[in-house]
Amino acid sequence: MNTAAWKSWAVGAAVVAALLGATACGPDAAEGSATAAPSDRASATSSARPGGSASATPDATASPKPSATSDGSDGTGGSGGNGTGTGAGAACTTERLAVSAVKEPADSKEARHLLITVQNTGDTTCELYRYPLVRLGADARTTVPVIKDSDPDPGKPVTLAPGDEAHAALLVSGGARDEYEAKSISLTLQGGKPGSRLGEPVDVPMPVSTLYADDGQLVTYWTTASGAALDFIMSK
């Protein structure tokens, strides 16, 4: 091959090589990069934003813990304190009660059956517990035993609004032995706790000058129904 022919062949080969290189770096290569980049970005975004931030935000805000308030509540309607919340009224005391006693029936010759009445003279509601602790006579050895079946509402106190009355029926003598003269009636109120007492004994006005008591004496629980209390002793 002479010099002129060789040069012509070399120029042709260079042109062909340039065309092939342009084809390889042209549309096919551009399409490859254009299709790869969006795919990469889409997968990164879908896995980080919806999966990461969307699930983290509800966990932090959906179920906050209730905080205690100044009144002891926990913000949910429950109680965070240790208050009793019983709603019970104050106990009746002898200072706020007017005490009286009458014979039953009023025209009876003997004073065997008495009705003790207390009235709430205060300006607020109060509660009477169980039954009065009564002693007949200054030398009484013990308080009058109670008729257990006479409790109108077992376990609950008698509530007295201002002006309301409660009653306890008292059997002075039940036909038993050891009769003695009693010239006084003392009454002590019970407290809310079983066995407790409220204040000092008070004298109940005597319906007669002298009572003839014996070992058969009995008293009922407090009740607002005087007839119901008397029913327990009138037949004795």
Report the pLDDT value the prediction gives residue 129, as an integer from 0 to 100. 98
Most confident segment among 29-38, 73-82, 163-172: 163-172
96-132 tens-digit pLDDT = 999 999 999 999 998 999 999 999 999 999 999 999 9
Element (H, E) at 103: strand 97-103
Q: Which residue has the higher pLDDT, 75 or 184?
A: 184
Decide if pLDDT at 31 tops 70: no
Contact yes or no for 121/182 (Cβ under 8 A): no
pLDDT tens-place string over residues 161-198: 999 999 999 999 998 889 999 999 999 999 999 999 99
pLDDT of 203 strictly over 60: yes
State the DSSP string of 48-80.
HIIIIIHHHHHHHHSSPPP---TTSB-SSSSB-
**Burial of 174 (C-beta count, 10 Å sphere; 0-12/13-18/19+):** middle
The SS3 call for residue 123 is: coil
pLDDT at 62 over 90: no
Give 65's pLDDT tier (boundaries 50, 70, 90). very low
Give the 3-state secondary structure percentages of the chain, helix then strand then coil, rounded to 5: 30, 25, 45
Cα–Cα dist 202/95, whole Å: 10
